[in-house]
Amino acid sequence: MSRNRELISKIGLRLDGRRPDELRRIRCKMGVFSQPDGSAYIEQGLTKVLAAVYGPHQVRSRQKAQHDACIINTQFSMAVFSTNERKKRPRGDRKSTEMSMHLQQALLSVIETDLYPWSQIDVYVEVLHADGGIYPACVNAATLAVIDAGIPIKEYVCACTASLGNNEVPMLDVSHQEEILGGPTLTVAALPMSGKIVLMEMSQRFHLDHLPKVLNKALEGCKDVKAILDEAVKNHVSEIGSATGWANTTS
Amino acid sequence: MSQKIHIRSASASNRVRPLAATQKYHRIFTPGEEVIKAAQTHFVRGHGTYEEGGDLKASVAGVKEQVNKLVSVRPLKSRYNGQVGEVLVGRILEVQQKRWKVDTNSRLDSALLLSSVNLPGGELRRRSAEDQHMMREYLQEGDLISAEVQSVFTDGTLSLHTRSLKYGKLGQGILIKVFPSLVKKCKLHFCTLPFGVSLILGNNGYIWISPTSNNVEGDEGGFIQNLEEVIPKDIREAMARVRNSILALAQNYMMLFDTSIIFAYEESLKYSVHELLLPETMVDLAVLTQQKLSMMEDYEFIN
């Protein structure tokens, strides 16, 4: 780990030319597939993720079915070509299983599961290109796909990473390059409107004094992401609505 | 070289979206957004909303609908929500003691009770234990049926019935699955198109395309299908054309009903059947159909 290399230059720019509090470019698209009930594609910088949602549908295995809530089944996988070194297996290893569980936790916190007894919702997430911030991109893509599927959620769940540059300046949305140069990465999944934190994870240590400002920065990032997703959702819905002529709406 | 090669750019941005059918403006609510503030206390919570701190908030992305005090937000795309009297197309998943389990694209599997089907040999016939043993003879796993929603159970399961000669087992034809919200609710969901093709537009987004049969059905209750009959090639081609036209409309989020499908079929005649599967052709077809539909609406408006 080369601590001596500066993550933020003297004029206050990062390695890829961003300022410390800037996100990478987010581009997203909903309804990319016709087979699943909901689907979404998101690009955060060079990180590219596809998500598909099936359901709610009848639980296939009888033992898991719940009489008062639906179960959420998530599967995280990374395409074998998504990283620099070709991956051996796209899913099923320890890291993917952990990611799936974290994704499930994030979704369980927002989806109104009690509306769908005896049902199941499947969420499949596939990373096409990994360039830092995989988990946040997956959460954001899954949120969009769930909204596209018309499944009721309390509010958006968004995720973002933050780091500490030059041991003092909090940086938002860490790229892969910055990750390997050795900044500590804090991943936060949050409900931006109510300010609740769903998941928080640290990759390395930094002094406790720095935590509040880095955490605040990450939460700000979540809010920014939410604003971008919200606009995309509104555009998408009004596009579908005007194509169908608002046919099934009464007002 | 005899085969045509189609080349297109990879970016979707330069593809034309079909024209908007209307210029109507609708306020769109997204999850977590306030629909009604706490100050206005007179409301009843409907679907797609939840209450938090006295405020009514949306839980899906869609438009607000209000009936007196009942406020709900409707998503533009979701799983099928069954209502009594709607026509469905479904697939048999399981044969059980007194019922069949049917996949209807709903959030729970639907049930077709043995007591709500017309069995061969008259309407008013007791259902004996023998009938229970014979259930697999009538409908087995994988069979497609058309049915109507009879009732909705408390847990949301749909109960179906086929107590009419127009419902029953489906024979030769093509099934397409589209999003349920794209099927327009009409008086007639069984349409006979003028080019020898019949359609069943299931409210659940399953669409059945079959050749028009002219033989009068007997009292077999729609359980016996003639699979030996050979469908002539021109009818098959028309069916394939209808299928591809419907797919083109669905791809561009256009409503599906008899008129739009007939228009799309007419516009598709300048292409060969397999050309209809190209993305550019699909968009072109959708745009032309949209124009034709709006022209018809204007015409009706003037008269």
Domain boundaries, chain B: 28-75
Q: Which of A193, A237, A241 sits opposite B32 (nearest CB)?
A: A193
Burial of residue A106, with CB atoms counted within 10 A of its CB: 0-12 exposed, 13-18 middle, 19 or more buried:
buried
Q: Are A234 and B63 in contact (CB under 8 A)?
A: no
Q: Which of B65, B77, B251 sits opposite A150 (nearest CB)?
A: B77
Q: Are A178 and A132 in contact (CB under 8 A)?
A: yes
User: Please, which residues have CB within 8 angstroms of residue B46's CB and are 6 or more apart in sequence?
Assistant: B65, B70, B71, B72, B73
Integer Cα distance of A118 and A71 in angstroms: 8
In this prediction, residue B225 carries a pLDDT of 66
Banded model confidence at residue B15, pLDDT cuts 50, 70, 90: low
Q: Is the pLDDT of residue B286 over 50?
A: yes
pLDDT more than 90, % of chain B: 47
Kindly report the CA angle at A140 between A155 and A116, in degrees rounded to 5?
Answer: 50
A239 touches chain B (CB under 8 A): yes
In this prediction, residue B18 carries a pLDDT of 60
Q: What is the DSSP letter of A41?
A: E
* Shortest CA distance from B32: residue in chain A: A155
Closest CA relative to residue A223, chosen from A146, A144, A158, A145: A158
Contact: A119, B107; criterion CB under 8 Å: yes
Q: Is the pLDDT of residue A169 over 80?
A: yes
Residue A205 — φ and ψ, nearest 5°? -95, 150
Q: Is the pLDDT of residue B12 over 80?
A: no
pTM: 0.91
Integer Cα distance of B84 and B81 in angstroms: 10
Positive or negative: CA dihedral B29, B32, B36, B39: negative
Contact: B77, A58; criterion CB under 8 Å: no
Task: Determine which of A39, A58, A121 to mutate to test the interface with B (most B C-beta atoms within 10 Å).
Answer: A58
* Shortest CA distance from B51: residue in chain A: A154
Q: Are A248 and B26 in contact (CB under 8 A)?
A: no
C-alpha dist (Å) from residue B99 to A60, B77, B87, B133, B161: 18, 30, 19, 12, 11
Question: Which CATH number applies to B28-75?
Answer: 2.40.50.100
Q: Is the pLDDT of residue B220 over 50?
A: no
Contact: A244, B77; criterion CB under 8 Å: no
Average pLDDT over residues B99-114: 93
* Shortest CA distance from B294: residue in chain A: A245
Q: Is the pLDDT of residue A126 over 90?
A: yes
How far is the alpha carbon of B7 from chain A, nearest alpha carbon, in Å? 21
In this prediction, residue A86 carries a pLDDT of 92
Integer Cα distance of B267 and B261 in angstroms: 10
Banded model confidence at residue A161, pLDDT cuts 50, 70, 90: very high
For chain B, the 3-state helix, strand and coil shares in percent, each to the nearest 5, are 25, 30, 45
User: Please, which residues have CB within 8 angstroms of residue A251's CB and are 6 or more apart in sequence?
Assistant: B26, B63, B64, B65, B66
Q: Which residue has the higher pLDDT, A5 or B219?
A: A5
The distance from CA A2 to its chain's CA centroid, rounded to whole angstroms, is 29
Task: Determine which of A244, A249, A250 to mutate to test the interface with B (most B C-beta atoms within 10 Å).
Answer: A244
Q: Which of B76, B178, B185 sits opposite A241 (nearest CB)?
A: B76
Average pLDDT over residues A95-123: 94
Banded model confidence at residue A39, pLDDT cuts 50, 70, 90: very high
A72 contacts on B by Cβ (under 8 Å): none
B24 touches chain A (CB under 8 A): yes
Q: Is the pLDDT of residue B131 over 90?
A: no
Average pLDDT over residues A2-19: 79
* CATH architecture classification, A19-241: 2-Layer Sandwich (3.30)
In this prediction, residue A1 carries a pLDDT of 44
Banded model confidence at residue A8, pLDDT cuts 50, 70, 90: confident
* Shortest CA distance from A229: residue in chain B: B30
In this prediction, residue B195 carries a pLDDT of 87
Q: Are A242 and B22 in contact (CB under 8 A)?
A: yes
Q: Please, what is the average pLDDT of chain B? A: 85
